[in-house]
Chains A and B, each alone.
Chain A
């Protein structure tokens, strides 16, 4: 059974058809890529799957649970983690606090515990901090734990985002252009991190990326999206040689 199974998903923004008849099936531990020109609807698909928008039609199953109509926090709690195209970090909060907040749904002490500092709260918060620090160590930013995120370099802010997404304990991780705006060195590091996360945590990963080289290297299967429709799907080699994909990216060659 696939981990994430999307069938016939269609979405309209008013009269605009943003996504049409979208299908996706990701197995546990698989890395999948989603490419396509700007405005093709890649981020919209992420937003539909994570519950920010509710699809007009279609079915989404994560590990057998239907996600359609759930609140984003319920979807996150079911095991879907995500990072963002534009860094979405919270100013005024430290690196550690970012990661700890993402553990929210994994803790279950209640308000009474919160106010009276019960043993359960102390234990859960302490364990949560250990998990958070472990993730930061894995991403190589443990020594920045107490820093305000604003003081970090762009590459490290991206790592915080990644650590935060991982802290929700996802079964599948959605990465929306994880290397956007990165320098070549940062890009290489980020690729290594993605590989490491995949290897160590055994997650399924669904990746939107503009840099084709990166997608080709990381992903086993790639979908190409144009105007909200998948025009090609296959292995990196198949995608690279697909005339429709070449046309979508480079335009049509006209011969006279």
Chain B
């Protein structure tokens, strides 16, 4: 039983990564009808930006140039990385996708993959092929709750992720920007005639998705303190699967499917040898999609942004 709950905790943590990344795929898809295949690499870049900011601040703090407690370094790292990564997302939208707004979808998909490769190899060029370890910003504190081992990092990762997802939900349901995103999922002709600048909304959507991916990247760095330039590939694809499983365009779907993916992976690994984990886990998901091809919260012939 303890073993079971231990896995629930791990699954929640993994699910948070997937959900945070999947939201970016789903939001962009819903308003622009394209999957941003560079999104996994934006996650990777976000992690590296976080790594850079955290390392820089740690060095400065150690040298005594600035006085910062470690927790504050973490908060600043998250905020700065969210900001910079959303800039990157907006740049990708502006340079990569906006010129292709009316081009065939395949062109946009290929462009996304190219942007991903540019980010991967740009990183390789800048920092070299060796892996980087993320600074240990917070001391791991372990709690034993009835045999289940919780760490302060895990609690923080899951809690902050959920708060961010809830904030996104409020943003989409309560504000004029969110309303505009949802309408833009339906058409690009009428929405501007109602006074809504659709390019701004598209930029905003990329910014939001990228900021969430940056948080996922930093949390990944905290939990598994090793970064490499290719870390975005597998994570990106898995989060993409979560976006499809949730139903394209569904915010709720992407969130739930992200966590579901975490649970399926962890629990498959609990029963079967871990080398078979992805084979079995993704066969299960394929099975679900056979019966629900539009995903859990998806709708036939439609991929509108919904709550």
Q: Using a CB–CB distance below 8 Å, which chain A residues touch chain B?
A: 50-52, 71-77, 82, 84, 88, 90-93, 97-98, 100-107, 109, 111, 114-115, 117, 121, 125, 128, 164-165, 167-168
Residue of A nearest to B168 (CB): A115
Cβ contact of B179, chosen from A101, A106, A111, cutoff 8 A: A101
* Measured CA separation A98–B182 after assembly (Å): 10
Q: Is the Cβ of A82 less than 8 Å from the Cβ of B302?
A: no
Kindly identify, within residues 210 to 237 of chain B, every residue whose CB is under 8 Å from any CB belonging to chain A: none
Q: Is the Cβ of B183 less than 8 Å from the Cβ of A90?
A: yes
Q: Is the Cβ of B195 less than 8 Å from the Cβ of A105?
A: yes
Chain B residues in 8 Å Cβ range of A102: 194-195
B256 CB to nearest A CB, Å: 18
* Measured CA separation A232–B59 after assembly (Å): 79
Chain A residues in 8 Å Cβ range of B187: 88, 90
Q: Is the Cβ of B192 less than 8 Å from the Cβ of A101?
A: no
Given A91-B302, A92-B304, A115-B171, A82-B176 contact (CB < 8 Å): no
Q: Is the Cβ of B193 less than 8 Å from the Cβ of A50?
A: yes
Q: Using a CB–CB distance below 8 Å, which chain B residues touch chain A?
A: 167, 170-171, 174-180, 182-183, 185-187, 189-198, 204, 302, 304, 306
In the complex, 20 of the A-B residue pairs with CB atoms within 8 angstroms, ordered by the A residue number, are A72-B192, A73-B193, A73-B195, A73-B196, A76-B192, A76-B193, A82-B193, A84-B190, A90-B182, A91-B302, A92-B182, A92-B306, A93-B182, A100-B179, A102-B195, A104-B179, A104-B194, A114-B176, A117-B170, A117-B174
Cβ contact of A105, chosen from B174, B177, B186, B196, cutoff 8 A: B196
Q: Is the Cβ of B171 less than 8 Å from the Cβ of A114?
A: yes
8 closest residue pairs by CB, A with B: A105-B195, A72-B192, A76-B195, A90-B186, A114-B175, A88-B190, A102-B194, A73-B192
Given A92-B304, A114-B177, A125-B176, A73-B183 contact (CB < 8 Å): no
Q: Is the Cβ of A91 less than 8 Å from the Cβ of B175?
A: no
A81 CB to nearest B CB, Å: 8
Q: Is the Cβ of A101 less than 8 Å from the Cβ of B189?
A: no
Q: Is the Cβ of B180 less than 8 Å from the Cβ of A104?
A: yes
Residue of A nearest to B187 (CB): A88
Residue of A nearest to B199 (CB): A71
The total of interchain contacts (Cβ-Cβ below 8 angstroms) comes to: 94
Chain A residues in 8 Å Cβ range of B182: 90, 92-93, 97
* Measured CA separation A144–B57 after assembly (Å): 55
Chain A residues in 8 Å Cβ range of B180: 101, 104
Cβ contact of B194, chosen from A74, A93, A164, cutoff 8 A: A164
Residue of B nearest to A84 (CB): B190
Q: Is the Cβ of A115 less than 8 Å from the Cβ of B195?
A: no
Residue of A nearest to B177 (CB): A114
B165 CB to nearest A CB, Å: 14
Q: Is the Cβ of A100 less than 8 Å from the Cβ of B176?
A: yes
Chain B residues in 8 Å Cβ range of A107: 176
Q: Is the Cβ of A125 less than 8 Å from the Cβ of B174?
A: yes
A124 CB to nearest B CB, Å: 8
Q: Is the Cβ of B304 less than 8 Å from the Cβ of A91?
A: yes
A202 CB to nearest B CB, Å: 20
* Measured CA separation A93–B307 after assembly (Å): 10
Given A92-B306, A111-B177, A114-B177, A104-B195 contact (CB < 8 Å): yes
* Measured CA separation A71–B188 after assembly (Å): 12
Chain A residues in 8 Å Cβ range of B302: 91
Q: Is the Cβ of A101 less than 8 Å from the Cβ of B194?
A: yes
* Measured CA separation A111–B175 after assembly (Å): 9
B81 CB to nearest A CB, Å: 17
* Measured CA separation A113–B114 after assembly (Å): 36
* Measured CA separation A209–B204 after assembly (Å): 39
A192 CB to nearest B CB, Å: 25
Q: Is the Cβ of B183 less than 8 Å from the Cβ of A72?
A: no
Residue among B171, B179, B180, B187 having the largest count of chain A Cβ atoms under 10 Å: B179
* Measured CA separation A115–B211 after assembly (Å): 13
A18 CB to nearest B CB, Å: 17
Chain B residues in 8 Å Cβ range of A84: 190
* Measured CA separation A125–B173 after assembly (Å): 12
Chain B residues in 8 Å Cβ range of A75: 193
* Measured CA separation A98–B183 after assembly (Å): 8
Cβ contact of A93, chosen from B171, B183, B195, cutoff 8 A: B183
Given A90-B183, A90-B187, A103-B176 contact (CB < 8 Å): yes
A227 CB to nearest B CB, Å: 25
* Measured CA separation A156–B138 after assembly (Å): 58
Chain A residues in 8 Å Cβ range of B192: 51, 71-73, 76
Chain B residues in 8 Å Cβ range of A103: 176
B29 CB to nearest A CB, Å: 15
Q: Is the Cβ of B194 less than 8 Å from the Cβ of A76?
A: yes
Cβ contact of B167, chosen from A74, A88, A115, A165, cutoff 8 A: A115
